Structure 1
């Protein structure tokens, strides 16, 4: 596949609803459920329920307009600030948060989450809780020194980054540069949670082929340590599904904290 024809997520954008349908829906032919839904929910639930990652502000910097990765976080933070590079993704996410007609149905993910938590009777409460915990969905520019200029965000207790670095980094230097930016947004001792895909070169969304940065677990770990983070937990899961939509080899979850 010609790498020159691949689009950059943060430059060209993509069809945010098509992305949800292909990679995060409950359609019978959606084969990514174990990796895109279950793996993040399980690991984030486990991480947050240990009780040492909590506080006032969590900043979410993730690809697309999904919401299921914030279900656990909303129980441990007063405010979740969501940053998006695309107006289209902001509109899609706000449609859900405002309970508008035509919003993507996250019921299958909510059901999975409350079952993993062992709280199947709290389905409705979970969706209401996540909506009430997100006061702002904001546009950001990843290339600016202050990504939310002219607004200055408060230092975060935690930053959650799901699949964003995979889509916006062109090389290893980019990966380290963005980690450095995230570090500056964190309080001393603050936590960084990363979800990514290993060995990926592309992702298809509709008629578009999106660039993906190729890296492995060893690189990600060394990059974090090199930027002043201490890794508290790291787990990978090998891919088992079959699809030509994306060519990743495994999915990774890393929990780390910024050295004081």
Structure 2
């Protein structure tokens, strides 16, 4: 299929529930357990437990309705604000947050994180902790030049962005421009965690193929350094799953600090 025909996450209909069920399900028959869940959750657990990242406010600006990457973070920040560009993602998150009937179950990820913490009997407490720490879920327009101003969000001690830049950018210039907007959400001395997929080109949701920006680890590292970030950790882990649903080479994990 011609890549120009792929849909865009932020411009076309994107079924957030089907996306979660496809790539983040606890079903052992799904091929993405290691790459989408186990490996990233372990990296996040280790990163937060190093003790560098703590404070009052964390902003999560990600692509989709996933919240599992915040289970470790909620122990180190007083408040978490979620920013999403997709209305369906917000609706799906609020269904989970408010314990509504039919909400996507993230229990398998809660269990994994509490096991990493040595508190496998505290799944319910962990779930309640994250829900109480999330104070706002807001919609933003990625085309705007002032994300913070639009939604009234103060600069954060930590920003997490997972699989968003990959979905909304088509060129290197797009990536740099959108990265710059995200970094404006972060206060000097604050920390950034970035999760993405290297050497990807598409992902599938239902019958639709969506665009993925193709880049490598070096490009992402150089982009952050160019914007005044100090790289503290960078890992590009080769993919372990094989599936025609998505094309990628590795899972990128970067932790960086914004220079004062």
- TM-score with structure 1 length normalisation? 0.97
Offset of residue 178 of structure 1: 1.6
Q: Deviations over 1:116-174 (max 9, x none)?
A: 12211211110000000001000110111222654321111111000101101111111
Q: Are residue 92 (structure 1) and residue 92 (structure 2) matched?
A: yes
Aligned to 1:9: 9
Which has the larger displacement, 230-239 or 141-150? Answer: 141-150
Q: Is the 8 A contact 1:48 1:73 kept in 2?
A: yes
Aligned to 1:229: 229
Cα RMSD (Å): 1.1
Aligned to 1:216: 216
Aligned to 2:134: 134
Secondary structure, counterpart of 2:64 in structure 1: coil
Paired positions, count: 260
Q: Are residue 238 (structure 1) and residue 238 (structure 2) matched?
A: yes
Q: Is the 8 A contact 1:139 1:148 kept in 2?
A: no
Offset of residue 13 of structure 1: 3.7
Aligned to 2:57: 57
Aligned to 2:151: 151
- Matched ranges for 1:23-62 at <5 A: 23-62=23-62
Runs of 4+ with deviation above 4 angstroms? none
Q: How far apart, in 1, do the equivalents of 2:150 and 2:177 lie?
A: 21
Aligned to 2:177: 177
Q: How far apart, in 2, do the equivalents of 1:258 and 1:149 lie?
A: 20
**Unaligned stretches of 5+ residues in structure 1:** none
Aligned to 2:76: 76
Q: How far apart, in 1, do the equivalents of 2:142 and 2:118 lie?
A: 38
Q: Deviations over 1:203-236 (max 9, x none)?
A: 0000111100000011111111011100001112
Q: Is the 8 A contact 2:17 2:92 kept in 1?
A: yes
Q: Is the 8 A contact 1:141 1:148 kept in 2?
A: no
Q: How far apart, in 1, do the equivalents of 2:150 and 2:237 lie?
A: 40
Q: Deviations over 1:93-115 (max 9, x none)?
A: 10000011100011111111111
Q: Is the 8 A contact 1:146 1:152 kept in 2?
A: no
**Unaligned stretches of 5+ residues in structure 2:** none
Secondary structure, counterpart of 2:182 in structure 1: helix
Q: Is the 8 A contact 1:140 1:148 kept in 2?
A: no
Offset of residue 240 of structure 1: 1.7
Q: How far apart, in 2, do the equivalents of 1:249 and 1:67 lie?
A: 24
Q: Is the 8 A contact 1:24 1:36 kept in 2?
A: yes
Which has the larger displacement, 160-169 or 8-17? Answer: 8-17
Q: Is the 8 A contact 2:35 2:251 kept in 1?
A: yes
